[in-house]
Amino acid sequence: MTMAATHVSLLLGLALLSAFVGPSHSLVCTSQKLSNNRYSNCSDLPKLGASLHYTYNASDSSLSIAFIAAPASGGAWISWAINPTRTGMVGSQALMALKLSNGSVVAKTYNISGYHSIIESKLSFNVWDLTAEASSNGTMTIFATVEVPGNATSLNQVWQVGGAVNGNRPSIHPLEEEYKESMSKLVLAASDEIAPAPQHTHSSAVPVFSPNGIGIGLISCLALLASSLMLS
């Protein structure tokens, strides 16, 4: 085998490896399928493999969201929050999905008043239509509509994926650096046209090709090139 053929074979192997990584790492928000919901925007969040689908309605100062993430290894909860006063976890107002020991999924609201203080309570802003669900691919989704300040142009968002659920209470999330950096600014942009999301599917047997992986076309080209070089 020539040196060129060896290089192409290595590239082909990397391409196949990238294409078949697990669903929580290969799916991007544009390929995720949601149940009976329509959102005008989606964003792949920079930490924890999470994504956010959202529609901002400036006329009534509301934000409809679908937050999707997989719990931490061995965990059973995910959370998306708005911090009205600062960046970071402390002071955030959180929506949380918890998978209970009986397999059911519940959605709750929490006031994160400190690093060791999480209180189930109403939030400092109105929340409507709060629900949650779990999918067979290991992800969980939080659906809600929240009230945002009038004329707001951005929000401090914080998200997290956690450990076990004890009874109906979440335990602490892992403390690696990635879990401490899961925050960003969400820029609000009103949209007059809302794009429909595809219908939800619970099948996760075949991973979806996406910009995080390598497309089928590229893999095919690499395979043909490798074969040609090995025969030459």
Per-residue pLDDT of the chain (232 residues; tens, 9 = 90+): 555 444 544 444 444 433 333 333 445 898 888 876 689 999 999 999 999 999 999 999 999 999 999 999 888 999 999 999 999 889 999 999 999 999 999 999 999 987 777 889 999 999 999 999 999 999 999 999 999 999 899 999 999 998 888 877 877 776 777 788 999 999 998 654 443 333 333 333 323 333 333 343 434 443 444 445 444 5
- Tokens for 222, please give them: 């690499």
Tell me, which fold does domain 22-199+209-226 have in CATH? Immunoglobulin-like (2.60.40)
Amino acid type, 23: P
- In the block, tokens 């309570």 appear at 121
Phi, psi of 52 (to 5 degrees): -130, 125
12 touches 219 (CB < 8 A): yes
Query: Backbone phi, then psi, for 92, in 5-degree steps?
Result: -75, 155
Per-residue confidence (pLDDT) for residue 20, from 0 to 100:
37
Q: Are strands 77-83 and 92-99 parallel, antiparallel or unpaired?
A: antiparallel
Give the start-to-end residue ranges of the domains of the chain. Answer: 22-199+209-226
For residue 6, the surrounding DSSP H or E stretch is: helix 3-19
Residue 226 has a pLDDT of 44
The pLDDT score that the predictor gives to residue 86 is 92
Cα–Cα distance between 44 and 92 in angstroms, integer?
Answer: 21
Task: Give the span between the Cα atoms of 190 and 150, in whole angstroms.
Answer: 12
Contact 160, 98 (CB under 8 A): no
